[in-house]
Amino acid sequence: MTRPYVIDQMISAKTIAARVEDLASEIETAFAGTDKLIVVGLLRGSFVFIGDLVRELNLNVEVDFLEASSYGDGMESSREVRILKDLRGEIGGRDVLVVEDIVDTGFTLSHVVSLLKSREPRRLETIALLDKPSRREVEVKATWTGFEIPDEFVVGYGIDFAQRNRNLPFIGKVRFTD
């Protein structure tokens, strides 16, 4: 049973949309001249962000997905990341953009970046809608970040709490009421 909670809006849908538009234009500039940009969404949290982002990109885009899960073995610092679903396509020699919903400890992004770099893309950049730098355990920073946030429990715009609330159009903060 989930503890009772309410959700307070933290970043509105309108604010997110404006930021996504700005980020897309920075990405277009950075990848201007690419023949194709492979945009890789990390499942499941990035599904809303990647959908909005690619629709703002005036580039030739291919969309692919990767699912990773991180779990502890009792020691936070030795957290391992498993790949549950790999890419469908090849990325060797291609331009790649990895899309994350949130960077927390950094284990997921750091592992995925090393994995994908070993496949020798021509260029690999990363984007995260949210960043919680205060929670970082491994040194990693996305090339582009939508919003830096404090250490709050957030949901919406793809992000879940026990698989709920991914469909909220805004980013909200969970507040327990018990």
Annotated active-site residue in 104, 131, 151, 178: 104
Work out whether the CA dihedral 134, 78, 89, 45 comes out positive or negative. negative
> Least Å distance between CB 104 and ligand PRP?
3
Is 104 a known active-site residue?
Answer: yes
User: What span, in angstroms and rounded, lies between the C-alpha atoms of 164 and 148?
Assistant: 23
Under the binding rule (CB under 6 A), the answer on residue 44 touching ligand PRP is yes
Among 60, 70, 114, 134, binds ligand PRP (CB under 6 A): 70
Distances (CA, A) of 16 to 9, 105, 130: 12, 23, 10
Per-residue binding string, ligand PRP, 5-34, x by CB under 6 A, is: ------------------------------
Q: Which of 78, 83, 43 is nearest to 63 (CA)?
A: 43
52 lines the binding site for ligand PRP (CB under 6 A): no
Residue 23 vs 59, nearer CB to ligand PRP: 23
Rule CB under 6 A: which of 78-107 touch ligand PRP? 100-107
174 in contact with ligand PRP (CB under 6 A): no
Catalytically annotated residues: 104
Chain residues binding ligand PRP by CB under 6 A are 42-45, 69-70, 100-109, 160
